[in-house]
Amino acid sequence: MNGISGFPGCGRGWVKISRCCLAVGVSAVVAVSMYGCGGGGGHSDDSVTQPAEPVKTSVAIDSGIIAGQKLTSGVTAFYGIPYAAPPVGDLRWKEPQAITWTETKQTVKMGNACAQAAGTAANGDTISEDCLYMNIWVPPELKEDAEAPVVVYVHGGAFKTSSASPLRFGGEQLAKKGIVYINFNYRLGIFGNLALPELTAESSHNASGNYQILDIIYALNWVQRNIGKFGGDPKNVTISGQSSGGIEMGLLNVSPLAKGIFHKIVAQSGWPGPWANPPTLATHEQTGLKIMHAAGAANLAALRKKTMDEMLTAISDPTITAIGPSFAEPCIDGYVIPDKPDTIFAQGNHNDVPVIAGYTSGESAPTSVTNQLTNSTTIAAYQANLQSIFGGYWGTVYNLFVPAADTQTAISAALSSLKNAASSGRASVYHATNVIVHGKSPAWVYIFSRTQTPQSTGIAVAAPHGSDNQYWHGEIGAPNADGSTYIRSAWDAQLADQMMNALVAFAKTGDPSTSSVPWPKYNVIFRERLNFGDTSAVADWDNGLDFFATTWLDRY
């Protein structure tokens, strides 16, 4: 184990890591190192030219020196790197600001989760407005300026919950395959997306309400400035996100502020249009005024003095919850998001990069269509519901999603398939179609259909929303947000390896095909997609997806 920091044979000035991180297995060291195991500080004082060495556990970035740790896998991990100043006090609801420090900062514990109404983030994190922290996993023996591909992951959570710390979002397994992997926290909900006339007026860009995306863009710019120190290539950055993180992928795809700071996109289960375009700034400002009133504040200055808990209490007011989830979302502000995403694509003004877009077989996102699909109890009621939504096309839709019997159970099953095709399936196809029709870059589409069997019930279910995360990250034993876990087999491990290899290939070359799993490019004629399920193979669309990929692709 020579040449690894903290082990016998290390060169002068290398940082030691604490014994607890050496005495436990891989799975335990991940958990321990995230919550305090590790230590040491300092960096090499060699003054003569040395041969290239692996990335050290102490790295000088543009804001100061950080000290991470070596995991037993050989991966170097840096947890809780501050990438921007804490957005508190006068910095609440302002663009992220630079941060610096003078002494070596120990980055061996993941930072606070961003403030959220749920009370605590997944993984038991402490929530705080001081939450702009990043985590980096560096491949074993990777050298500074090695120009390894970089993957930056944006967690989901309906724009208002979760954090980067859960193991299912972790980067150790991908780093072992040669990827510099990054995830991070960003402002959520009311703290990330509040718009107000006063906030718009104080902005030099005459905009407000998108501090969440500005945090993400700031983190990506941080990567551009610093990732070479970790062996990563700032000219080869792939961004990935799931659910609201997937929607953020679509927004970054069209934001002029994100131009040139990423080079490929993986969008899991999320796209912001055309049936769910972000609200306008004017609409968001009016929502912001209602939130300010609910918080008992007369103006912006008073609102900034409210505590985190007082703000979280304000958004639980019935006048705010009645607005629906849109109060927590980004908005079309004319600056970060200049227009509707589909309009920006149609004009060819998007960031033209290769895209992977996909979804799972057991999810159905809320859209203007799915929100109108009632839980009918008879076929007659089901048919009437389809007529009210699809007009003259209702018979086509019905024939694609015919219930097996005139029972509520059979009708519910048909509705579930219809909703998945109309929402998540159509979202992925819509994103891919926009990429190839309005730009020069290729796109690939996938469905994750591996059935999942919860440990608690032993009953297999269609792949739920987000269940592909454990596979993309190679952490199939990691729990879900609710703490539940799934029964796994040897195939699950193999499938995860295939999916990680596809992601690694995409990050390295811009094409996710591998020698064992060829993945054809998407096109509007053949509309091929890869099915990650009981096998990994090119497969036909879901029942009815062709209708939503063609006739109903861009309808509201």
505-543 pLDDT, tens digit each: 999 999 999 999 999 999 998 889 999 999 999 987 766
Q: Is residue 489 annotated as a catalytic residue, yes or no?
A: no
- Work out the pLDDT band at 368, boundaries 50, 70, 90: confident
Compute CA 352 distance to the chain's CA centroid, rounded to the nearest angstrom. Answer: 20
For residue 305, being part of any structural domain is answered with: no
In 3D space, the residue among 282, 234, 269, 274 whose CA is nearest the CA of residue 254 turns out to be 274
Contact 223, 181 (CB under 8 A): no
Detail the DSSP E strand segments found in 477-543.
Answer: 529-532, 536-539
Check whether residue 246 and residue 100 sit in a common domain.
yes
Q: Is the pLDDT of residue 179 over 60?
A: yes
Question: Domain end: 208, 234, 268, which one?
Answer: 268
Q: Are 54 and 173 in the same domain? A: yes
Query: 107: which 2 tokens?
Result: 């980055």
> Does one domain contain both 224 and 369?
no
- 3 located within any domain: no
Asked if residue 234 and residue 367 are part of one domain, the reply reads no
Asked whether residue 231 carries a pLDDT value surpassing 80, the answer given is yes
pLDDT, tens only, 93-148: 999 999 999 999 999 999 999 999 765 666 778 999 999 999 999 999 999 999 99
CA–CA distance, 410 with 254 (Å, rounded to integer): 41
Domain count, the chain: 2
Q: How does the average pLDDT of the chain come out, rounded?
A: 88
The confidence score (pLDDT) of residue 543 equals 66
Residues 23 and 139 in one domain: yes
Listed residues 246, 268, 290: the one ending a domain: 268
Rounded to 5 degrees, φ, ψ at 236 are -140, 75
d(CA 236, CA 545): 33
Q: In 267-357, where does DSSP find H-type helix?
A: 281-294, 300-305, 308-314, 318-321, 341-346
pLDDT tens for each residue of 451-495: 999 999 999 999 999 999 999 999 999 998 888 899 999 999 999
In terms of phi and psi (left: phi > 0; alpha: psi -120 to 50; beta: otherwise), the region of 145 is: left
Picking from 205, 499, 233, 195, the residue whose alpha carbon sits closest to that of residue 360 is: 499
Place of tokens 């019930």: 457
- What is the per-residue pLDDT for 79? 97
Instruction: Provide mean pLDDT across the span 253-281.
Output: 90
Please indicate, yes or no, whether residues 236 and 369 belong to a single structural domain of this protein: no
Task: Give percent of the chain above pLDDT 90.
Answer: 74
Domain boundary among 245, 268, 291: 268
User: What pLDDT is recorded for position 120?
Assistant: 61
Domain membership of residue 539 (yes or no) is yes
Whether 51 is covered by a domain: the verdict is: yes
Rounded to a whole number of angstroms, the CA Rg of the chain reads: 24
Nearest to 70 by CA among 26, 2, 14, 4: 4
pLDDT of 370 > 70? The answer is yes
Contact 265, 238 (CB under 8 A): yes
For residue 431, give both structure tokens: 């994103």
Is there a single domain that holds both residue 59 and residue 168? yes
CATH of the domain at 83: 3.40.50.1820
Q: Looking at the domain assignment, is residue 43 inside a domain? A: yes
Q: How confident is the model at residue 369, as a pLDDT?
A: 83
Q: Would residue 356 count as lying in a domain?
A: no
Examine residue 381 and state whether it is found in any structural domain, yes or no.
Answer: no
- For residue 285, being part of any structural domain is answered with no
Domain that includes residue 230, residue range: 19-268
420 three-class SS: helix
pLDDT at 52: 60
Taking Cα atoms as reference points, which of 349, 369, 470 lies closest to residue 425?
A: 369
- pLDDT (average), residues 165-178: 97
User: For 23-32, 157-166, 425-434, which range has the lowest pLDDT when averaged over its residues?
Assistant: 23-32
For residue 82, pLDDT beyond 50: yes
pLDDT at 189: 93
- Indicate whether 11 pLDDT > 90: no
- Provide the 10 A C-beta neighbour count for residue 541: 19
Give the model's pLDDT for residue 170: 97
- Residue 424 confidence (pLDDT) above 90: no
Among 257, 280, 249, residue whose Cα is nearest residue 434: 249
Q: Which phi and psi angles does 150 have, rounded to 5°?
A: -120, 135
* Annotated catalytic residue, options 243, 269, 467, 536: 243
Provide mean pLDDT across the span 201-216: 97
Same domain flag for 35 and 169: yes
Mean pLDDT score, 61-75: 97
pLDDT at residue 195 tops 50: yes
